[in-house]
């Protein structure tokens, strides 16, 4: 079963050549998983808090490509699962400010922006990179009977903006507000695959399509098996009725007095108790059709019923 971490591992391996794509991906990482820390004397710093080693490696590489040095630290959550988290720490120097302003993360006065300016996501490639960064930062995929892909945001306004951003490329996301966060999400395999394609997670899409094909094949096999079982049950019950009728006629001594065709059908059924009508029909002389043999056996049942 494909997981959120499988998708993040794939996305983390994507290294876009365009600077605008790297900038959009970095912007989404900070908007989904970043926090600004103001210190005394006008100093400031930024942290990225990520739950995936793959996402942390990708963020570190993006920062380095942008000329920024960061320090990676790990810690364990206090929650029951004690999951390892990854923090990237950046000092608030002039170069950091320049890069983050260009990415639409903060403004010139160090104030955080809820969303990047239009210039950061004006191209289709940049919008795909932004969605990729949003998943790396705070995305999740639940596969199963009710598949669900989610991109977490700090506010419902940010989630609505994200849904509006990708709608121009034909991707439909819904918005939900929860107690601790908001999210833009997709439900159903078709919508989820569209979102994964926009991010560039082609391997994940192929895995989901393979899963769907296998599920369809299993369903078809189960339907055929159920149909075969039902046919066997019907055939067995019909054969038991026919045998009971023939035994009754034989016990009464009337079996030998039957017309040749009916007597032949009775003898074949007695000798081949479990065979289907088609198999029995092939044994008659000359071979009869399945429908013809069914009529003959049915006549035997009616004759036996009349003698009760």
Segment holding 57, helix H or strand E: helix 53-65
Determine what percent of the chain falls in helix, strand and coil, rounding each to the nearest 5.
60, 15, 25
Backbone φ, ψ for residue 47 (5° rounding): -125, 140
> Within this chain, do residues 123 and 161 fall inside the same structural domain, yes or no?
yes
Alpha-carbon span 296 to 267, nearest angstrom: 12
Q: For every one of its 308 residues, what pLDDT tens digit does the chain have, with 9 covering 90 and above? A: 778 888 899 999 988 889 999 999 999 999 999 887 766 666 777 888 998 899 999 999 999 999 888 888 988 877 666 788 999 998 878 888 899 899 999 887 778 888 899 999 999 999 999 999 999 999 999 877 788 999 999 899 999 999 999 998 888 999 999 888 899 999 988 888 888 888 988 888 777 766 655 556 666 667 766 676 677 777 788 888 888 888 888 888 888 888 888 888 888 888 888 888 888 889 988 888 988 988 888 888 888 887 66
3-state SS class at 88: strand
> Within this chain, do residues 190 and 227 fall inside the same structural domain, yes or no?
no
Instruction: Give which of 192, 155, 301 is closest to 242, Cα–Cα.
Output: 301
211 lies in a domain? no
Rounded to the nearest 10°, the torsion over CA 179, 184, 188, 189 is: -130
Helix count and strand count (H, E) for the chain: 11, 8
> Within this chain, do residues 88 and 127 fall inside the same structural domain, yes or no?
yes
Both structure tokens of 177: 């507000």
> Within this chain, do residues 195 and 253 fall inside the same structural domain, yes or no?
no
Query: Which domain does 278 fall in, by range?
Result: 221-306
Alpha-carbon span 158 to 105, nearest angstrom: 13
Say which CATH number the domain at 91 has: 3.10.28.10
Number of domains in the chain: 2
pLDDT tens digits, 56-70: 999 999 999 998 888
> Within this chain, do residues 195 and 226 fall inside the same structural domain, yes or no?
no
- What single string gives the DSSP state of each residue in 113-163? PSS--GGGG-SHHHHHHHHHHHHHHHEEEE-SSS-EEEEEESSHHHHHHHH
């Amino acid at each position: 079963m494909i997981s959120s971490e499988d998708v993040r591992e794939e996305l983390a391996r994507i290294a876009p050549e365009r600077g605008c794509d790297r900038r959009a991906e970095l912007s989404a990482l900070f908007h989904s998983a970043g926090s600004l820390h103001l210190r005394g004397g006008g100093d400031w710093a930024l942290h990225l808090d990520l739950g995936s080693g793959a996402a942390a490696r990708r963020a570190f590489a993006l920062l380095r490509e942008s000329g920024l040095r960061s320090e990676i630290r790990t810690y364990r959550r206090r929650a029951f699962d004690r999951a390892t988290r990854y923090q990237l720490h950046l000092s608030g120097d002039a170069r950091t400010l320049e890069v983050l302003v260009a990415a639409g993360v903060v403004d010139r006065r160090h104030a955080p922006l809820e969303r990047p300016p239009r210039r950061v996501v004006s191209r289709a490639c940049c919008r795909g990179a932004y969605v990729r960064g949003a998943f790396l930062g705070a995305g999740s995929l639940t596969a199963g009977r009710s598949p669900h892909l989610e991109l977490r945001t700090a506010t419902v306004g940010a989630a609505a903006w994200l849904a509006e951003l990708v709608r121009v490329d034909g991707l439909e996301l819904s918005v939900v507000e929860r107690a601790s966060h908001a999210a833009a999400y997709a439900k159903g395999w078709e919508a989820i695959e569209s979102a994964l394609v926009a991010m560039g997670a082609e391997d994940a899409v192929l895995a989901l399509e393979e899963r769907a094909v296998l599920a369809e094949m299993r369903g078809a096999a189960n339907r055929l098996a159920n149909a075969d079982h039902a046919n066997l049950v019907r055939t067995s019950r019909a054969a038991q009725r026919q045998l009971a009728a023939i035994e009754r006629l034989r016990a009464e001594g009337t079996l030998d007095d039957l017309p040749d065709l009916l007597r032949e059908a009775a003898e074949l059924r007695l000798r081949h108790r479990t065979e289907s009508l088609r198999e029995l029909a092939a044994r008659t002389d000359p071979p009869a059709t399945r429908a013809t043999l069914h009529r003959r056996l049915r006549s035997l049942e009616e004759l036996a019923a009349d003698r009760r």
